[in-house]
Chain A
Amino acid sequence: MTDILMPALSPTMEEGKLAKWLVKEGDTVKPGDVIAEIETDKATMEVEAVDEGVISKLMVEAGTEGVKVNAIIAQLSAEGEAPKPKSNGKAKTAKVDAPAQAVAETAAPEQKAKNDGHRLRAPEQKVAAAEGLHDPTLPEGVTYKKTAVRDALRDAIAEEMRRDERVFLMGEEVGQYQGAYKVSRGLLEEFGDRRVIDTPITEYGFAGLGVGAAFGGLKPIVEFMTFNFAMQAIDHIINSAAKTLYMSGGQMGCPIVFRGPNGAASRVGAQHSQDYSAWYGHVPGLKVLAPYDAADAKGLLKAAIRDPNPVVFLEHELMYGVEFDVPEVEDFVLPIGKARIRREGTDVTLVAHSRMVKFALDAAEELAGMGIEAEVIDLRSLRPLDTETVIESVKKTNRIVCCEEGWRFFGVGAEIAAAVVEHAFDYLDAPPLRVAQKDVPLPYAANLERLSLPNAQDIVEAAKKVCYRETE
């Protein structure tokens, strides 16, 4: 008897919908036969049988939502083998007998090479927006709608495209494929292929083309499937987009947004897991945004698209599926360059951006249990950097821990620590500490990856240290 398990179809998938069975109990299957269809928030995929045998039992009904990866979905018996009684089908998790093979239905080969093939679950999912995280600047009585980050981004793009004919989206798989991470879902249908443009895999080329189009009076949104691939295009982002206004004595604006997921996804190895916050944050002539929740993703992306300057907009793959409250406000645009205090506290300041905000908030919860009230600042914008909010906070707490997913050398935390030392030296009761990725390329092995990436516990330890508490 062999268990057929719910397969992970992407590096970050945790669960999915078993949409349809293509076999019934008693059917004989051979390796390669398609036995089921699975839907995730990104795509519909086919599940193939790996072993030969008879489907003895379908354990999950067609149409079931939220089937966990590695849950047993069916049992297969060898020809002639008696079906096991039902009670034996206890759930297995880590030890996989025969994971069903998942094949992308529509993925182009190059797409598969980039995204599929590395499968395992995201370490966390679905964080409900906690009370008190709502933007304090919004009017009383505003209503909110639960929205995943990817849909908030999509809504921002769609709204701006409706508003301004010059705005268009280009990148790999943004159109027919509906986005490698489904951020551009539905945009091709609404705006057509004149404004939602599938490019060849040619980052340097289409980044340059986008900059040229911006010189020509358009407002391109250039999607990189991930910012790791933008390394090939960084010459145009910096030399062509960021510097030309200055070099032209103010004649040549470049209103363009470069966006896509940044930082570590999950188990995709060193070349697909780099945080570029510090890289772009270094460059005058750019604006660099890195939102955490869905509301900021929407409000800041709309601001980025309207901005007359080149904006690097760093998203996070592991946040795309996370739902938050997004205010139901007509034309929700946020100011660029303003940090947001996510939690008020008096004992230590935790500064973070993008997904690290979640860890900082978790750490703050844990610290509260020890009697340490942490203030959590979500930077949101790295350039311009709202050092004023950070410094004001440090003047109150006298301690700071800078958290980032990237490497610490010459990093965002280094910049903030320097600013705090320069402008609030006399207020500090402890040296600023940094929590960051270990100074190694990101490893693949699950345990090593965990050791390499910063987490909430690291922040707790650092916060205790600056508060001179006993650390582990």
Chain B
Amino acid sequence: MTGKTGGARVRKPVSEPQKAELIGFYRDMLLIRRFEEKAGQLYGMGLIAGFCHLYIGQEAVVVGVQAILEPDDQVITGYRDHGHMLAAGMTSRGVMAELTGREGGYARGKGGSMHMFSREKNFFGGHGIVGAQVPLGTGLAFSNKYKGTDAVCIAYFGDGASNQGQVYEAFNMASLWKLPVVYVIENNQYAMGTSIARASAETELFKRGISFEIPGEEVDGMDVLAVRKAAAKAVKRARDGDGPYILEMKTYRYRGHSMSDPAKYRTREEVQDVREHRDPIEMLKKKLLDAKHVTEDDLKKIEAEVREIVNDSAQFAQDSPEPHPDELWTDVLVESRA
């Protein structure tokens, strides 16, 4: 934790993103997508097992939000977490090797897809119980306020989690105690196989904080710039000590809930329509080309660079050995200093 007690540090002002930053967004979103495609491939080959929830389609959310965070801000999310880790600056090698359950993974193979952490990057998981990250993230925000830092915690969760009772328990305390937390609801329209309309009496999830005096707004979660702009406002509010904020990111996942989900609850046309008209990567690509920030050649270079990173991580994840059998017994308890 780098935040110092007493007084806010000078934060860089959030301005309109410049060319380099925009290209960075494109690269980061592309990295997540190619990484996830590779993870899907490795899953099909039997190299990744268990649950594996891919983030394909939702890339703009995490990239847009992370763009305005400071190194000492914390991030916590649920089980669809690969994109969040890459966006938080964790290495693709470490994430992929955790997916394959190898020693080189972020949890030395003991966590898997849903449970990875990085103290260094202030990434606090990776939680498998739907909604659990909301009180946990609120607790991280509590620790910031307690210590007198001006760090903010971002707690990501889905439209499914937004029906969990503990979310509202956390909302209540966060607002009551003006905790520096931003709740980012990634509304990808389906809680596993149940559409939001079939699961939620109030489908406008940004309104879910009304009873707790937490303001919220709906954001086009497919537009990385809209996401960034909304996040800047919410994070500033939290950092300034004005309490929590809800951002409902309207987004979409292209793949099934997990690898075992054939996604029969929606039509192929519905998915295709989003892919063609609202794809976050394609939309930004068009903007970059239209503004002449990049040429087709530049984009190809980025694509090649990203593929190289992803292929390297896949290779690493296969070469890294399985954890030593002794690892079975380690990390159950922190050994007390005598």
Q: Are B139 and A208 in contact (CB under 8 A)?
A: yes
- Nearest to A284 among chain B residues (CB) is B332
- For the complex formed, measure the closest distance between the CB of A73 and the CB atoms of chain B, giving whole angstroms: 42
Q: Which residues of A contact B189 (CB under 8 A)?
A: none
Interface residues of A in 197-250 (CB under 8 A from B): 199-200, 202, 204-218, 235-236, 239-240, 244-250
Q: Are B166 and A208 in contact (CB under 8 A)?
A: yes
Q: Are A205 and B169 in contact (CB under 8 A)?
A: yes
Q: Is A185 in contact with chain B by the CB < 8 A criterion?
A: no
Q: Is B196 in contact with chain A by the CB < 8 A criterion?
A: no
Number of B residues with CB within 8 Å of any CB on chain A: 48
Q: Are B125 and A248 in contact (CB under 8 A)?
A: yes
Q: Is B111 in contact with chain A by the CB < 8 A criterion?
A: yes
Contact of A205 among B111, B128, B170 (CB under 8 A): B170
| Interface size grouping (class) on chain A | 35 or more
Q: Are A216 and B135 in contact (CB under 8 A)?
A: no
Tell me, in angstroms, the Cα distance from A194 to B106 when the chains sit together. 35
Known pairs A240-B127, A245-B332; A209 contacts B119 (CB<8 A): no
Tell me, in angstroms, the Cα distance from A239 to B136 when the chains sit together. 12
Q: Which residues of B contact A210 (CB under 8 A)?
A: 139
Q: Are B176 and A200 in contact (CB under 8 A)?
A: yes
- Nearest to A170 among chain B residues (CB) is B142
Q: Is A362 in contact with chain B by the CB < 8 A criterion?
A: no
Q: Are A249 and B333 in contact (CB under 8 A)?
A: no
Interface residues of B in 108-160 (CB under 8 A from A): 108-111, 115-119, 124-129, 132, 134-144, 146-147
Q: Which residues of B contact A212 (CB under 8 A)?
A: 76, 124, 135-143
Contact of A194 among B128, B146, B330, B334 (CB under 8 A): B146
Tell me, in angstroms, the Cα distance from A218 to B147 when the chains sit together. 9
- For the complex formed, measure the closest distance between the CB of B276 and the CB atoms of chain A, giving whole angstroms: 39
- Nearest to A335 among chain B residues (CB) is B336
Tell me, in angstroms, the Cα distance from A216 to B105 when the chains sit together. 23
- For the complex formed, measure the closest distance between the CB of B211 and the CB atoms of chain A, giving whole angstroms: 13
- For the complex formed, measure the closest distance between the CB of B197 and the CB atoms of chain A, giving whole angstroms: 27
Q: Is B172 in contact with chain A by the CB < 8 A criterion?
A: yes
Known pairs A209-B173, A211-B136; A247 contacts B332 (CB<8 A): no
Q: Which residues of B contact A307 (CB under 8 A)?
A: 336
Q: Are B136 and A247 in contact (CB under 8 A)?
A: no
Contact with A along B166-188 (1 / 0, CB 8 A): 10011011001000000000000
Interface residues of A in 435-455 (CB under 8 A from B): none
Q: Are A247 and B334 in contact (CB under 8 A)?
A: no
Chain B residues with a Cβ under 8 A of chain A: 1, 74, 76, 105-111, 115-119, 124-129, 132, 134-144, 146-147, 165-166, 169-170, 172-173, 176, 330-334, 336
A-B contact pairs, 20 of them (CB 8 A): A199-B173, A205-B135, A208-B138, A208-B170, A209-B136, A211-B136, A212-B76, A212-B137, A213-B140, A213-B142, A215-B140, A217-B1, A218-B146, A240-B127, A244-B117, A248-B106, A248-B125, A253-B334, A285-B332, A308-B334
